[in-house]
Amino acid sequence: MRRATMIVLAVLISANASAQEPATATPPAGESTAAAAPAAFQPAGSTKASKRRGSMVGYIEDATIRTELRLRFDGGFGVDSPDRAEFFYGKCGCYRDLAGSPLLDADAPGPGPGIVTDLDFQQFNVMGQFAVSDRLSVFGELPLLQSIRPQSFVPGTGSFGNMSGIGDLKAGLKVGLVSDERRSATVMLRASFPTGDAGKGLGTDHASLEPAFLYRHDLSDRVSIESQIGDWHPFGGSRGPLPTDDKFTGDVIYYGIGPSFDVVHTDKVRFTPVIELVGWHVVRGFETKTLLTPLGGDAKGVNIVNIKVGARTTFAGGSLYVGFGRALTDAVWYDKMLRVEYRAGF
């Protein structure tokens, strides 16, 4: 947790420094102070702030604090190490069948007996966010339908079929540090609870906590840049491959940046292409990697970077995003992903 605490402290100090910028300017002769006050520092929720450009990204977390409903479908392809740091699902169930080996782990929670070398997945996720105030919101996420479809296994290790059900429940809050017409700087704290069946590959079998810093800056009425940095910190988790090893699970730092530009901008509709670069760094943990490393390989230091290309169409009352992502590195969570997302604000 020390790393997670340091991240939150750093972003709080940075955002606090930004918030200390003067909110008023000396008015020219003949003008009132109220007339000279910069519109950029109108309180969130005011008439001017409510007209600001909404978030356009599809993969980076949204820094906006508002009441909204989000429906999201993900289709991922080419997962080759699903139990890496127990980030996607729990430690491979293949360890339960290693009688006589020091790697035997009768409590390994993941699906088995086969060792997956290629897996596809689908997920339908519903998220509801409620703005308690202009600077605070609470939210919950529920994967109503999650499924995994293994495509291939290490020969001789067995296999298992398609699995589906409810995934791990997530809930959290967002705190706005800076919120004006042009900028949103937000701290997000999200917790994950092991409600998914880990034996079916639908959950991690442990809880986690994610402190993250989200930032959005509107450079103009048509151009924005959005970013994030956070730490996924697990609680519990499986033991390492050997009884003397550290936990199989471990922290994962994630980050991303995404510029967007309105190519269509009218009073009724906006069409906005967006490019996002998203990355993950595995701080520690293990993986049952089957192609490049032996059973129980060390995942410490693995870096994964994806590029996401998509577009958001904004209309009265909501927006629709369609985007496609693919891995830029040899290490992957998934090789390719399709995302379709609908947001409705209230």
User: What is the per-residue DSSP string for 20-54?
Assistant: TS-S--PPPTT--HHHHS-GGGPPTTSTTGGGSPP
- 23: its two tokens: 């909110």
Q: Which residue has the higher pLDDT, 68 or 44?
A: 68
Lowest-pLDDT choice from 28-32, 191-195, 218-222: 28-32
When divided into structural domains, the chain yields a total of 1
Q: Above pLDDT 70, what percent of the chain? A: 83
Question: In whole angstroms, what is the distance from residue 346 CA to residue 342 CA?
Answer: 13
Is residue 65 in some structural domain?
yes
252 in any annotated domain = yes
| The pLDDT of residue 67 is above 90 | yes
Q: State the residue range of the domain holding 97.
A: 2-15+59-345
Q: Confirm whether 50 is domain-assigned.
A: no
Report whether 233 contacts 223 (CB < 8 A). Answer: no
pLDDT given at position 25: 41
Do the domain assignments include residue 220? yes
Question: CB neighbours of 8 closer than 8 A, spacing ≥ 6?
Answer: 187, 211, 213
We report the CATH number of the domain holding residue 300 as 2.40.160.40
Is the pLDDT reported for residue 124 higher than 80? yes
Confidence of residue 294 (pLDDT cuts 50, 70, 90): low
Rounded Cα distance, 333 and 250, in Å: 15
pLDDT for 76-95, tens place per residue? Answer: 999 999 999 999 999 999 99
* pLDDT > 60? residue 195: yes
Confidence of residue 181 (pLDDT cuts 50, 70, 90): confident
Least confident segment among 12-16, 60-64, 187-191, 235-239: 12-16
Confidence of residue 4 (pLDDT cuts 50, 70, 90): very low
The reply to whether 190 falls in a domain is yes
- In sequence order, what are the residues at sequence separation of 6 or more whose Cβ sits closer than 8 angstroms to the Cβ of residue 15? 177, 178, 185, 187, 213
Establish if 27 belongs to a structural domain.
Answer: no
Instruction: Give 71's pLDDT tier (boundaries 50, 70, 90).
Output: very high
Q: Is residue 10 part of a domain?
A: yes
Q: Do 334 and 89 form a contact (C-beta atoms < 8 A)?
A: no
Work out the pLDDT band at 51, boundaries 50, 70, 90: low
Is residue 35 in some structural domain?
A: no
